[in-house]
Amino acid sequence: MASLAALSESFSHFYTITLALIFILILQLVTLIRSVTGYHSQDPITLAQYLEYIEDNNPTIHFSKKSTLEPNECTVCLSEIKEGENVRKLKCKHTFHRDCLDQWLQQYRATCPLCRTKVLPERIVAEFYRQQHEVEYDEEIVRAISAFYSIDRNRLF
């Protein structure tokens, strides 16, 4: 009976080690595929470039109550837009505080917060999104490997 228990424990160790090796091989395969397919963008769009692109396509203006008949409320922050504040007026004619709209667009919503008209080309948003999440994805892989190695190391060997 003792030899059966020892055999069972040995099989359990072998099974755990096999799973560990498969897990490591899968992570290595994902990393290899990402590097071969060019997953890492050659020219990633940085936050500064993204904000510059927003500015180029939707320039900042100073709000003037005289120049608009629309209600002067930013529907992102739900605050009144006051005389002289920096705003962006989109092609769809909706107006928002500049910082509110920039934050909205940084959250990967390339559309007007009200009518969902496209504000930025999808290619630009996709490149920015990928660049922002590439780092997060790599960090998740490192955390997964670290967590795996920290799980009951004594059980493996």
pLDDT one-digit tens code per residue, 16-73: 888 878 888 887 887 778 767 765 555 678 888 888 989 998 899 988 877 666 668 8
Q: Which pLDDT value is given to residue 32? A: 76
- Cα separation, 106 vs 93, whole angstroms: 20
What letter represents residue 27's amino acid?
Answer: L
Q: In whole angstroms, how far apart are CA 124 and each of 17, 45, 92, 102, 152?
A: 44, 8, 19, 14, 45
Q: Please give the angle made by the CA atoms of 72, 78 and 84, to the nearest 5 degrees.
A: 40
Q: Range of 121's domain?
A: 40-157
Q: Write down the pLDDT at residue 135.
A: 61
What is the reported pTM?
Answer: 0.58
Asked whether residue 96 is assigned to any structural domain, the reply reads: yes
Identity of residue 71: P
CATH number at residue 108: 3.30.40.10
Q: Tell whether 21 is covered by a domain.
A: no
